[in-house]
Amino acid sequence: MAEWHYAQVDPAEELALLHVFSVKKRQEGGDVDFRITVREFAVAPAGHRQLFFAEADKPLNQKTAAVIPCGWGDSELAALSDCLRMIRQFPYEGA
């Protein structure tokens, strides 16, 4: 539905369309599957200028300083690419 963003009445609701992706991180010790959800906001959330936010379903670098891969962008591709860059950059060290 191309007009979904018109359903939002109050920007504080942060209405978003979800796009879900899957990626396999290949690393020594076995492959790890990640699910990445990209939120396409109807209106940029307070404090942000960009409409797209991507976030992975599990943290990386758990033994040093755990971080959940994420990324903001002005397009779905930009946000997804930022998130994937973090997944490639840091090791997955188990739950």
Residue pLDDT, tens place only, 7-58: 999 999 999 999 999 999 999 889 999 999 999 999 999 999 999 999 999 9
* Domain range annotation of the chain: 4-89
Q: Which one, of 54, 56, 53, 55, lies nearest residue 34 by Cα?
A: 56
Beta carbons of 87 and 57 less than 8 angstroms apart = no
Residue 95 is predicted with a pLDDT of: 66
Q: Structure pTM?
A: 0.92
- Under DSSP, the state recorded for 82 is H
The answer to whether residues 42 and 5 touch, using CB atoms and an 8 Å cutoff, is yes
Residue 95 exposed, middle or buried by CB count within 10 Å (0-12, 13-18, 19+): exposed
- Residue 94, pLDDT > 90, answer no
